[in-house]
Amino acid sequence: MNEVERNIGPLTQLTEDEQMLKEATSDFAKSSIAPLVHEMDENAKLDKGLISEMFEMGLMGIEVPEEYSGAGGTFMMSIVAIEEISKVDASVGVFMDVQNTLVNNAFIRYGSDEIKQRYLPQLATGKVGAYCLSEAGSGSDAFALKTSAKEMDDHFLLNGSKLWITNANEADIFIVLANANPELGYKGITAFVVERGMEGFSVSKKENKLGIRASSTCEILFEDVKIPKENILGEYGRGYKVAIETLNEGRIGIGAQMVGIAQGAFNAACAYVQERKQFGRAIADFQGVQFQLARMATDIETARLLVYNAGRMKEAGQEFLKEAAMAKYYSSEVAERVTSMAVDLFGGYGYVKEYPVEKFYRDAKIGKIYEGTTNMQLSTIAKLLLR
């Protein structure tokens, strides 16, 4: 463990369970994920065997209660695991992040007893989940969605499309936000559980992305998909509440992913500057390099403190919206800044795929975009400060 990863105070001090999971996840990432990173990035596809191993370890159902075959862990345990995995591969980090902080959390919080019994054991033991909110004309304006759910006698007919859906290729269970009563505006939005294989459901175009390439990002189409009324997640017309509150928690997960990316790039740079020699000395001996490392380390620790603070507040049942927005905003800035500096420190080698930092750099950019852009986080922070 290098200096910047040491616990420096109560806020970053982990519980015994969190520390055990951190160590187990770190070992798993180094032994099972690291050898596959380059291949998965080049092929833009997650390794199936790796996905199975993650389920076996309980990483895909950390907060799912034991009665539903989950690990019975905490939100902070999810955050710690996401950070550790993202130090090695952010694609795998966001894969488990979406499963835990968005999909599983939504089922745990809003699912009826019947829905929990039906879906949580699947999500904890072998089925991947996806969260479907964004559309071509509905990004930051999340509730401008056009996907509709027409009420029939005993079901809804779902029509429309979703864009930028993470985990779409691997998922079997989808939480889909659609408007069941457009006349009511956002108060008609309802969350539905949709399963792969339902007639009229299809996964369409897979995006060819700059970073997190192994994480699938696809368009999803709905053509008269029949959704049983019992598949409403939460209450009819209250899907906007499901969306808002789930994404608030999800932003802390993205913050953890960004901290992991930054830490992974820093670790690589720290090792490299002690090996690379110029003018007869390791470049780590030059004060200019040392100052850059010091700034990087300080940025990372600051971002980690913000993420952990938001996570602890969430766990304590306190209001955490502002803190989550701050964590997501700042950690994404740090990830971009630190990975860029890591590329600089590697020099020409930082620009080629033989070395890890160019991938960390590419992976970092998405942090300012998904689960709420930087501008949306700043807007949220400002409104809450002035409230």
Asked if 101 and 69 sit in the same domain, the reply is yes
Q: How many domains does the chain have?
A: 3
Q: What is the CATH number of the domain that holds 367?
A: 1.20.140.10
Domain boundary among 192, 222, 237: 237
The per-residue pLDDT for 10 is 66
- Cβ 123 vs Cβ 107: under 8 Å: yes
Does residue 253 sit in the same domain as residue 373?
A: yes
On whether both 370 and 253 belong to a single domain, the answer is yes
pLDDT at 6: 56
Tell whether 109 and 198 lie within a shared domain: no
Please report how the helices 357-364 and 90-97 are oriented relative to each other, as an axis angle in degrees rounded to 10. Answer: 40
Q: What is the CATH number of the domain that holds 136?
A: 2.40.110.10
CA dist list (Å): 283 to 163, 271, 273, 337: 45, 11, 5, 20
Q: Identify whether residues 261 and 364 lie together within a single domain.
A: yes
pLDDT 10s digits, 316-356: 999 999 999 999 999 999 999 999 999 999 999 999 999 99
pLDDT for res 111: 97
Tokens describing residue 328: 């997501």
210/246 same-domain check: no
Is the domain of 254 the same as that of 368? yes
Rg of the Cα trace of the chain? Answer: 21
Question: What is the pLDDT at residue 2?
Answer: 54
The boundaries of the domain holding residue 122 are: 3-128
Judgement on whether residues 85 and 148 belong to the same structural domain of the protein: no
Listed residues 189, 222, 237: the one ending a domain? 237
Say if residue 261 is in the same domain as residue 319. yes
Total-model pTM: 0.96
Catalytic residue among 63, 84, 219, 371: 371
pLDDT at 8: 52
pLDDT, position 161: 98
Sign for the CA dihedral angle at 303, 304, 309, 312 comes to positive
Token pair for 314 = 């969430």
For 195, phi then psi, to 5°, come to -110, 140
Query: In angstroms, how far is the first alpha carbon of the chain from the final one?
Result: 42
**pLDDT for res 5:** 58
Do 258 and 219 share a structural domain?
no
pLDDT value of position 12: 78
Q: 371 an active-site residue?
A: yes
- Name residue 204's amino acid: S
Ranges in the chain, pLDDT < 50: none
pLDDT score of 143: 87
Count of CB atoms within 10 A of residue 11's CB?
A: 13
DSSP letter at 178? E
Domain boundary among 128, 154, 171: 128
Q: Are residues 272 and 350 in the same domain?
A: yes
Q: CB under 8 Å to 10, separation ≥6 — which residues?
A: none
CATH code of the domain containing 7: 1.10.540.10
Q: Are both 231 and 246 inside the same structural domain? A: no
